[in-house]
Amino acid sequence: MQITRVYTGDDGESHFETIEVAQSESRYGSLSKLFDAEGVMFRTTPVGGELDFHNAPRRQFVVTLSGTVEIEIGDGTKLQLHGGDILLADDVTGRGHITRDLEGPRHSLFIPLPDDFDVDSLRG
């Protein structure tokens, strides 16, 4: 299973990274290890909505349930996320990213992570 991470580089700009989440065979399919989280939030955003450059308010997984969102980083690179896609919003400093809701309304699930969340733990 892949997730996309948006994070702040040493240059103060946001960048994308694809992470393959480590999973092991289980009794039914494959399963990752259990990660700590700090709750769950649900959000609905209207089609045509846009947030100019901003930082993630906290480290969090953002799961797009339906609709399409476009994330743009400082160098102009754009990425579209659709229902079922997972973003690790990890650019809590620096310039941040732009968010545009292209199809919707977009329904999302936010899973805030502890401040000490280790990104490398996703990789196994």
Q: How many domains does the chain have?
A: 1
Residue 83, C-beta contacts closer than 8 angstroms, at least 6 positions apart? 64, 65, 66, 67
Residue in 14, 18, 16 with CA at minimum distance from that of residue 74: 14
Residue 8: predicted pLDDT: 97
CATH number of the domain that residue 64 is part of: 2.60.120.10
The residue segments making up the domain with residue 58 are: 2-9+38-117
Residue 124: predicted pLDDT: 78
For the chain, report the end-to-end CA distance as a whole number of angstroms. 12
Mean pLDDT by 10 residues, the chain (124 residues): 97 97 95 95 95 97 98 97 98 97 96 96 91
Classify residue 65: in a domain, yes or no: yes
Classify residue 16: in a domain, yes or no: no
CA gap 3, 32 in Å, rounded: 13
Q: Which residue has the tokens 């100019």?
A: 52
Q: What is the pTM of this model?
A: 0.94
Classify residue 17: in a domain, yes or no: no
